[in-house]
């Protein structure tokens, strides 16, 4: 149990490092999120429940990761929207050439 919680903590630290960096490597983030999902699945099927303090920390990290992922998603969406509007402006400009 403790090994799985330690593994989960390491994955979370790696995810936090990626999300706090200037450029997000989406393939590495997807790989880590899949590893995290698998680790959580292994923890949930164990007959013994995780220690309350460690589990509370894991939940807090999950909430932090969720909010950072949401910020990254919103930022990427805003960037894509600006790019799309810019491309549309160029197309309109080319019509008048």
With left for phi above 0 and alpha for psi between -120 and 50, is residue 39 left, alpha or beta? alpha
pTM of the model: 0.75
In this structure, what are the phi and psi dihedrals at residue 33, rounded to the nearest 5 degrees?
-65, -35
Number of H helices, E strands in the chain: 3, 0
In tens, the pLDDT along 10-19 reads 999 999 999 9
Q: Looking at the chain, how many residues does it have?
A: 97
In tens, the pLDDT along 40-83 reads 999 989 888 888 898 999 999 999 999 999 998 898 888 888 88
């Amino acid at each position: 149990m403790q090994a799985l919680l330690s593994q989960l903590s390491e994955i979370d630290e790696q995810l936090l490092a990626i999300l706090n960096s200037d450029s997000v490597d989406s393939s590495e983030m997807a790989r880590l999120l899949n590893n995290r999902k698998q680790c959580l699945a292994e923890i949930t099927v164990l007959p013994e429940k995780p220690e309350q303090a460690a589990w509370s920390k894991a939940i807090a990290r999950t909430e932090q990761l969720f909010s950072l992922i949401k910020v990254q998603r919103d930022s990427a969406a805003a960037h894509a929207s600006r790019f799309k509007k810019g491309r549309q402006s160029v197309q309109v400009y080319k019509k008048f050439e």
